[in-house]
Amino acid sequence: MEKKPFVTKSQVEEIVKTYPTPFHLYDEKGIRENAKKVKEAFAWNPGFREYFAVKATPNPYILKILQEYDMGCDCSSYTELMLAKSCGFDGKHIMFSSNDTPAEEFAYADELGAIINLDDFTHIDFLEETIGHIPETISCRYNPGGVFELSNGIMDNPGDSKYGMTKDQLIEAFKILKDKGAKHFGVHAFLASNTVTNEYYPKLAGELFELIVELKEKTGCDIRFVNLSGGVGIPYTPDKEPNDIAVIGEGVHKKFDEILVPAGLGDVSIYTEMGRFMLGPYGCLVTKAIHEKHIYKEYIGVDACAANLMRPAIYGAYHHITVLGKENAPCDHVYDVTGSLCENCDKFAVDRKLPEIDMGDYLVIHDTGAHGFSMGYNYNGRLRSAELLLKEDGSVKMIRRAETPEDYFATFDCFDDIRITK
């Protein structure tokens, strides 16, 4: 099975007349269609809401699209909260899930009326001291410890994670928070990352549903929502089948009816905070081949680098590559596709079978719509690229301009004796 880009060679050739490579490109049609599918998959739950993980793609134009589908923002920092506020999200549509949280961030989240999701038992007193009260609606993050395993071999290790509270801490936290004035409660957990299986959310939901039944019995708290967090992944490699959100939603529905409805908790709302599933496949990095090198291996140098997409460099993550205009050509060449950073890990692909690449060819690096641009950086003085939106009518809109040297040097302005000039 081959991954097909959502943009064609002719479209890219037209785009680069205005916006030079490299750039991140997002597919508005794909984003909207996926948002509708997510809403439909959980329509059985009247209170359902997706709180998009802002860290995945922190762009106001993207957030405003999702806002049209009544989605909210999952924020984890002061600036992400600022972004959500600036886009017009009210407090009910902002989930603040942070860890090792500075006091000013808790204060700002409370000022916005955001739902605060406490990561640790000790944060109860810290929050109260910071804002002078405990909010009426509060959430707590749960960590079951041990190893989380699915039948298809996917594993993760919550016991080695810095996030969340133990069950005993969670029970005690609910009691204390209730005594301090909290009236409505939620539970949150994240147990596995980028799962490409329809099994993950239903299994997680089952564990959390059983947990809140126990919490209800032992604390008497009014539990209003369960946040399944993220973890629903995408198939980065072309040999995997994508998750089916309709099947996932129905799997959660089944657990809901089996566990919560008999316990008198049939009015609990389901929240999610997906990033990768919401945006990953609907973004790509478009770059141009500018050099070739023939030594002990064959190299293709492109005008993007790990500063534009760092996942392959730091994780060894696979991102599929399409050479535009050569989609049907045989993949009979083996290349390392590299960027220009002074780091040997600055490679988008290693020993990748691709069609013969000529200088000037455009390469689409797939699945960069989440954790792509957002993880960019300025090592070697490299500048982050533009972000473009391929609109439903085929036109292109710049939704973030490319950085300039002036941006890079702007923070030196405090030094009167130094002026950077061209």
DSSP state of 412: G
Same domain membership, residue 289 and residue 267? no
pLDDT at 190: 84
pLDDT above 90 for 226: yes
User: For 238-267, how does the pLDDT look when each residue is reduced to its tens digit (9 = 90+)?
Assistant: 999 999 999 999 999 999 999 999 999 999
**How many angstroms separate the Cα of 205 from the Cα of each of 260, 266, 269, 350?**
10, 14, 12, 38
Same domain membership, residue 374 and residue 289? yes
In this structure, is residue 4 part of a structural domain?
no
Average pLDDT over residues 51-66: 98
The mean pLDDT of the chain is 94
Same domain membership, residue 204 and residue 95? yes
Nearest CA to 167 out of 100, 219, 113 is that of: 219
In this structure, is residue 249 part of a structural domain?
yes
Same domain membership, residue 269 and residue 120? yes
In this structure, is residue 335 part of a structural domain?
yes
In this structure, is residue 312 part of a structural domain?
yes
β-strand pairing of 222-227 with 184-188: parallel
Same domain membership, residue 293 and residue 174? no
Residue 316 sits in a domain of what CATH number? 2.40.37.10
How far is Cα 192 from Cα 12, in angstroms, rounded to an integer? 36
Nearest CA to 96 out of 111, 81, 107 is that of: 81
What is the span of the domain harbouring residue 261? 28-280
Nearest CA to 165 out of 71, 99, 255 is that of: 99
**How many angstroms separate the Cα of 37 from the Cα of each of 40, 69, 242, 249?**
5, 11, 14, 10
Average pLDDT over residues 306-331: 96
Residue with tokens 């957002």: 374
pLDDT above 80 for 271: yes
- Confidence grade of residue 1 (pLDDT, cut at 50, 70, 90): low
pLDDT at 268: 98
pLDDT at 2: 79
Half-sphere exposure for 389 (CA within 13 Å, toward CB): 21
Are 84 and 73 a contacting pair, CB within 8 Å?
yes
In this structure, is residue 14 part of a structural domain?
no
Average pLDDT over residues 206-235: 96
Same domain membership, residue 265 and residue 198? yes
pLDDT above 70 for 194: yes
Residue 202 sits in a domain of what CATH number? 3.20.20.10
Are 119 and 189 a contacting pair, CB within 8 Å?
no
Three-state SS across 87-135? CCCCHHHEEEECCCCCHHHHHHHHHHCCEEEECCCCHHHHHHHHHCCCC
How far is Cα 160 from Cα 348, in angstroms, rounded to an integer? 29
Same domain membership, residue 140 and residue 37? yes
End residue of a domain, out of 243, 259, 280: 280
Q: Show which residues are catalytic.
A: 342
Q: Which residue has the higher pLDDT, 386 or 422?
A: 386
What does residue 411 show for φ and ψ, rounded to 5 degrees?
A: -75, 0
Same domain membership, residue 295 and residue 266? no
In this structure, is residue 420 part of a structural domain?
no
Angle between helices 28-41 and 60-67 (to 10 degrees): 40
User: What's the one-letter identity of residue 303?
Assistant: D
Are 356 and 271 a contacting pair, CB within 8 Å?
no
pLDDT above 90 for 378: yes
pLDDT at 415: 59
pLDDT above 80 for 145: no
End residue of a domain, out of 265, 280, 295: 280
pLDDT at 192: 80
In this structure, is residue 8 part of a structural domain?
no
Same domain membership, residue 180 and residue 131? yes
Its sign, for the CA torsion 120, 184, 44, 94, is: negative
Same domain membership, residue 342 and residue 243? no
How far is Cα 7 from Cα 281, in angstroms, rounded to an integer? 12
DSSP state of 6: S
Average pLDDT over residues 214-220: 97
In this structure, is residue 373 part of a structural domain?
yes
Same domain membership, residue 145 and residue 102? yes
End residue of a domain, out of 256, 280, 304: 280
Three-class SS state of 366: coil
Residue 15: both structure tokens together: 């785009």
pLDDT above 90 for 205: yes
Nearest CA to 274 out of 239, 232, 235 is that of: 232
Average pLDDT over residues 52-79: 98
Nearest CA to 282 out of 33, 51, 11 is that of: 33
What's the number of domains the chain is made of?
2
Average pLDDT over residues 84-113: 97
pLDDT at 371: 96
Are 51 and 271 a contacting pair, CB within 8 Å?
yes
Question: Strand runs (DSSP E) across 171-216, as ranges?
Answer: 184-188
How far is Cα 336 from Cα 262, in angstroms, rounded to an integer? 57
Same domain membership, residue 345 and residue 222? no
How far is Cα 318 from Cα 235, in angstroms, rounded to an integer? 10
pTM over 0.85: yes
User: For 12-51, how does the pLDDT look when each residue is reduced to its tens digit (9 = 90+)?
Assistant: 999 999 999 999 999 999 999 999 999 999 999 999 999 9
Sequence-distant (≥ 6) Cβ neighbours of residue 69 within 8 angstroms: 32, 35, 36, 38, 39, 50
pLDDT above 90 for 420: no
